[in-house]
A and B are shown apart, each in its own frame.
Chain A
Amino acid sequence: MAEVTMTVNGKSVTKSVKGNTLMTEFLRDELRLTGTHVGCDTSQCGACNIHVNGNLVKACTMFAGEADGAEISTIEGQANADGSLNVIQQAFQDHHGLQCGFCTPGMVMAAASLLKENPKPTEAEVRDYLEGNICRCTGYHNIVKAILAASGQDVSGIAAE
Chain B
Amino acid sequence: MPKDHGIGASQKRREDVRFLTGAGNYTDDINLHGQAYVYFLRSDMAHGKINKVDTEEASQMPGVVRIFTGADFEGIGGLPCGWQVTDKNGDPMKEPAHPVLAQGKVRHVGDPVAAVVADSLEEARTAAEAIELDIEELPAVVDMKAALADGATKVHDDLSDNLCYDWQFGTDTEATDKAFAEAAHVTTLELVNNRLVANPMEPRVAVGDYSRANDESTLYTTSQNPHVIRLLMGAFVLGIPEHKLRVVAPDVGGGFGTKIFHYAEEAFCTFAARQINRPVKWTSSRSEAFMSDAHGRDHVTKIELALDADNNFTAVRTDTYANMGAYLSTFSSSVPTWLHGTLMAGNYKTPAVQVNVKAVFTNTVPVDAYRGAGRPEATFQLERVIDKAARELGVDPIALRRQNFITQFPYETPVAVAYDTGDYEATMAKMEELMDIPGFPERRKASEAKGKLRGLGVNCFIEACGIAPSNLVGQLGARAGLYDAATVRVNATGSISVMVGAHSHGQGHETAFPQVVAEMLGIDESMVDIVHGDTSKIPFGMGTYGSRSIAVCGSAMVRATEKIINKAKKIAAHLLEAAETDIELKDGQFSVAGTDKSVAWGDVTLAAYVPHNYPLEDIEPGLEETAFYDPSNFTYPAGAYACEVELDPETGEVTIEKFVSADDFGNVINPMIVEGQVHGGIAQGIGQALLENCAYDENGQLLSASYMDYAMPRADDLPHMANYTVDHSCQTPCTHNPLGVKGCGEAGAIGSPPTVVNAVIDALQSGGHKVEHIDMPVSPSRVWAAMNG
Q: Which A residues contact B (CB, under 8 angstroms)?
A: 28-29, 33-42, 44-45, 47, 74-76, 78-79, 85, 89, 92-94, 96, 98-105, 108, 123-124, 126-128, 130-131, 133-145, 158, 160-161
Interface string of B561-572 (1 = CB under 8 A from A): 000000000000
* Residue B725 interfacial (CB < 8 Å): yes
Known: A76-B22, A93-B13. A39 touches B675 (CB 8 A): no
Closest to B287 in A: A41
Whether A33 contacts B680 by the Cβ 8 Å rule is no
Beyond A101-B16, A140-B718, 16 extra complex contacts between A and B, CB < 8 Å: A33-B22, A37-B26, A44-B706, A44-B708, A85-B20, A92-B16, A92-B20, A93-B20, A94-B12, A96-B676, A100-B505, A133-B714, A136-B712, A140-B679, A142-B679, A161-B726
Q: Is the interface of A mostly helix, strand, loop or mixed?
A: loop
Closest to A108 in B: B20
Closest to B670 in A: A96
What are the residues of chain B within 8 A of A138 when measuring CB–CB?
676, 679-680, 683
Q: How far is the CB of B462 from chain A (nearest CB, A)?
A: 21
Known: A41-B286, A102-B254, A160-B725. A131 touches B716 (CB 8 A): yes
* Residue B449 interfacial (CB < 8 Å): no
Chain A CB within 10 Å — which of B31, B684, B712, B716 has the most?
A: B716
What are the residues of chain A within 8 A of B12 when measuring CB–CB?
93-94, 96
What are the residues of chain B within 8 A of A42 when measuring CB–CB?
286-287, 706-708
Some 23 contacts from A to B, beta carbons below 8 A apart, are: A28-B29, A33-B22, A35-B22, A38-B203, A40-B286, A40-B707, A78-B21, A89-B21, A93-B13, A96-B13, A96-B673, A101-B20, A102-B24, A103-B201, A131-B716, A136-B201, A136-B712, A137-B201, A137-B254, A139-B679, A140-B715, A144-B715, A160-B679
Which residues of B682-726 are within 8 A (CB) of A?
Answer: 682-684, 706-708, 712-716, 718, 720-722, 724-726
Interface string of B1-42 (1 = CB under 8 A from A): 000000000001101111111111010110100000000000
What are the residues of chain A within 8 A of B287 when measuring CB–CB?
41-42
Known: A34-B22, A100-B505. A123 touches B720 (CB 8 A): yes
Whether A45 contacts B672 by the Cβ 8 Å rule is no
Interface string of B229-266 (1 = CB under 8 A from A): 00000000000000000000001111010000000000
What are the residues of chain A within 8 A of B256 when measuring CB–CB?
136
What are the residues of chain A within 8 A of B252 when measuring CB–CB?
100
Candidates A29, A35, A47; contact of B23 at CB < 8 Å: A35
Candidates A38, A98, A140; contact of B20 at CB < 8 Å: A98
* Residue B493 interfacial (CB < 8 Å): no
What are the residues of chain B within 8 A of A128 when measuring CB–CB?
715-716
Which 9 pairs of residues, A with B, have the shortest CB-CB distance? A35-B22, A101-B19, A102-B253, A139-B683, A100-B506, A99-B506, A44-B707, A139-B679, A75-B22
* Residue B729 interfacial (CB < 8 Å): yes
Whether B721 contacts A123 by the Cβ 8 Å rule is yes
* Residue B508 interfacial (CB < 8 Å): yes
* Residue B727 interfacial (CB < 8 Å): yes
Closest to B707 in A: A44
Complex Cα–Cα for A76 and B203 (A): 21
* Residue B413 interfacial (CB < 8 Å): no
Whether A101 contacts B15 by the Cβ 8 Å rule is yes
Q: How far is the CB of B528 from chain A (nearest CB, A)?
A: 19
Interface string of B163-200 (1 = CB under 8 A from A): 00000000000000000000000000000000000011
* Residue B624 interfacial (CB < 8 Å): no
* Residue B285 interfacial (CB < 8 Å): yes
Whether B200 contacts A100 by the Cβ 8 Å rule is yes
